[in-house]
Structure 1
Amino acid sequence: METSLRYGGDSKALKIHAKQKIRIDTNTFFQVITFFQSFLCIIHSRYSTICVCYPNKVRGELDTKNGQPNSLRALVRHFYPDLSATLGVGVQYDKLNNVGEKRYARNDKLRYTVLAKKTFLVTEDGLVNFKIKGACDVDQDFKERKSRGGAEFSWNIFNFQKDQDVRLRIGYEAFEQVPYVQIRENNWTFNADYKGRWNVRYDL
């Protein structure tokens, strides 16, 4: 299981994020994700949420204020080694989040999710590569759609200093038309984009 602590500049919450991949066959995995969120600002403490994950089934988020789930998600990913590509399909249900903001669009609906990623090696050793990726969420009536995607270069530097590995990613989000950067040093990861949004992750 992969576990990390996450905090973003656009949020007042520290999240404990856990992800577990369950193998279905050689190249197909069922992805289970859950995180526990607690608000750092006392004024929002009564809106704190916790997340529950039903093993092998869904990702879920439960609002402890009203006892209603905020989001549920299930996703299956298939890897194509010969193509260096990944395809994922799943379903997701999102409600208003606990401070009144909407994660997706106007109404709370069941949404279908499709995502894909393709990697191209730039160097023979694989330390530098180029990726294109995209995803689309569609509501249950196939009328409302939210898309995201872009392209990025990734450069991995092993033993940048003694016992220190570094990864640098520079990319462009096509739908929001904004460049972004990611810097990873061992367990620490920092993400930022041109709009001033940022977040920090620490892998446990």
Structure 2
Amino acid sequence: METSLRYATNSRSLKILAKEKFPVNSKTRLQLHGELDTGAGVPSYLCAMIRHLFPKASTSLGVGLHYDKREKLRCLVRGKKKFPVVTDEFVTFNIKGRCDFDQDFVQELLNLTGIYGSFKKIRIYASELATKCLRRSLICRLEKTIGLSTRI
């Protein structure tokens, strides 16, 4: 279970957030999350969502219910699509969006929550480079400490 604490200055109360993901099968999971307002002693919101991954299409879709103490019950539909920029998928273009409906299925919100790029190859290269530098640094320190040279 993932948990976190938040303190908002406008409400002046500590909020406890919790999220749990239960696998249904290899491509589907049930996600439950909520927030407890410690000042009022009641949940601020509760959400249950089923998320499904479509790996061949590089897409995920989530459908669920969200209960908010102000807006009551809403239905959610969320999606994410990944477009590879190059064939090896190290550079991708990602789009995330969501649509909310009220209890009468009247659309309240439709927006793109994120458009961003991902550069995996750069991160992998940087990680490998950092590992090589750290290894070289440790070897140099060991040589100085022991007084030996490992170079031929």
- Equivalent residue, structure 1, for 2:41: 67
Q: Using the alignment, how far apart are the partners of 1:162 and 1:5 within structure 2?
A: 33
- 1:111 alignment counterpart: 74
**How far apart are residue 121 of structure 1 and its match?**
1.2
SS at match of 1:162: helix
- SS of residue in 2 equivalent to 1:142: coil
1:101-147 deviations in Å (ceiling 9; x for gaps): xxxxxxx2200000111111112332210112210111102235122
2:103 and 2:95 map into 1 onto residues whose CA distance is 27
Seen in structure 2, the aligned counterparts of structure 1 residues 121 and 23 have a Cα distance that, compared at 3 Å, is same
Of 117, 121, 125, which residue of structure 2 is paired with 1:153? 117
Work out which of the residue numbers 47, 64, 86 in structure 1 matches 2:60: 86
Counterpart for residue 51 of structure 1: none
Please list every run of 5 or more consecutive structure 2 residues that lacks an aligned counterpart in the other structure: 132-152
TM-score of the aligned structures, taking structure 2 as reference length: 0.66
Ranked by relative contact order (alpha carbons within 8 Å, sequence separation 6 or more), the top structure is 1
- Identity among equivalent positions (%) equals 46
Q: Secondary structure at the match of 2:36?
A: strand
The one-letter code sitting in structure 2 at the alignment partner of 1:85 is T
Q: Secondary structure at the match of 2:40?
A: coil
2:51 to 51, 58, 77: 77
Measured in 2, the distance between the counterparts of 1:153 and 1:132 equals: 9
The amino acid that maps onto 2:97 is: G
Give the CA deviation at 1:151: 2.6
| TM-score scaled by length of structure 1 | 0.51
- Structure 2 counterpart of 1:155, which letter? F
Superposition CA RMSD, Å: 3.3
The alpha-carbon deviation at position 6 of structure 1 amounts to 7.5
The CA distance in 1 between the partners of 2:11 and 2:110, in whole Å, is 22
**Which structure has more helix as a fraction of its residues?**
2
Paired residues of 2:15 and 2:38 also in contact (CA < 8 A): no
Task: Please tell me whether residue 136 in structure 1 is matched to residue 99 in structure 2.
Answer: yes
- Residue identity in the other structure for 1:119: K
Partners of 1:155 and 1:91 in 2: CA distance: 33
Q: Cα gap change, 1:148/1:81 in structure 2, threshold over 3 Å: closer, same or farther? A: same
Inter-partner Cα distance in structure 2 for 1:122 and 1:17: 36
Q: Give me the whole-angstrom Cα distance separating, in 1, the residues matched to 2:23 and 2:110.
A: 28
CA distance in 2, matches of 1:6, 1:67: 15
3-state SS of 2:31 partner = strand
Say whether residues 1:127 and 2:74 are aligned partners.
no
